[in-house]
Amino acid sequence: MLALVITAFILTGCYKEDSSSSNNPSSKTSGFYAPEEFIENPSVKNAVRESGIPVNNGDTPPALAGTYLSNGSITNVSSLLNEMLGVAIQSEFILSKQTASGRIELEERIGGIRATGIGGYITGANGNFTIYIESYQSGSEAGLPSGVSVNVVLLMSGTKLNNGDLSNVQGLTIYTNASSSNNAYDVRNVIGAWYKWKADFSLQTEN
């Protein structure tokens, strides 16, 4: 399973009543330009508080550019996603283009599916890090019905080991916005849903 890609679980029982796509239209739901903007988003703020995921602040995160294989599972979810508990997180993560100013890019792959993040940032110190990524998912390529789109935020925290592996990585995937032009679905209750996962990352190659 991809940590960035929405699954059919989240749309179970979401039937369309009207075309509203946000339960809080005055809040910024996408296009974040700094780590602080991610954390200030109401859906992200609530998910961080409820899940207990650590957020590692600081401007000296470890160098992480490389290709990793993850091995873990989903350990905590919001109420909409109860059926996802225990689902495996086993995919390939590619971290690249990390800069001294705190930018980073992330791509995740499994089989023939790829998911990329936009607006990537990294903070941390003393070997600890937190990555902030946004991803836009739409249609069948993301496992969604036609006409359904979501904005996904991924926070990922962990520690770099001396051998280059990443230990005790905790990820938090949050749906910050959703819209539907498909008459079969009302996606308003998707906004704010989240799941948390834990995994170890084994370094395959450095970039």
Tokens of 122: 């990294």
Q: What share of the chain is helix, strand, coil (3-state, %, to 5)?
A: 15, 45, 40
Mean pLDDT, to the nearest integer, of 152-177? 95
Residues 165 and 64: beta-carbon distance below 8 Å: no
Cα separation, 197 vs 183, in Å, equals 32
Digit-coded pLDDT (tens) for 37-54: 999 999 999 999 999 999
Tokens of 86: 């225990």
Where residue 106 falls among pLDDT bands split at 50, 70, 90?
very high
Residues 58 and 129: beta-carbon distance below 8 Å: no
Mean pLDDT, to the nearest integer, of 98-114? 90
Where residue 153 falls among pLDDT bands split at 50, 70, 90?
very high
Cα separation, 145 vs 90, in Å, equals 24
Centroid of chain to Cα 64: 17
Cα separation, 166 vs 15, in Å, equals 40
Give first-to-last CA distance, the chain, whole Å.
Answer: 24
Where residue 200 falls among pLDDT bands split at 50, 70, 90?
very high
Note the pTM of the prediction, 2 decimals. 0.86
How confident is the model at residue 140, as a pLDDT? Answer: 66
Spans of all domains in the chain: 8-206
CB atoms within 10 A of CB 140: 9
Query: Where is 44: in which H helix or E strand?
Result: helix 42-51
Digit-coded pLDDT (tens) for 86-101: 999 999 999 999 999 9
- Look at residue 27 and tell me whether its pLDDT is greater than 60: no
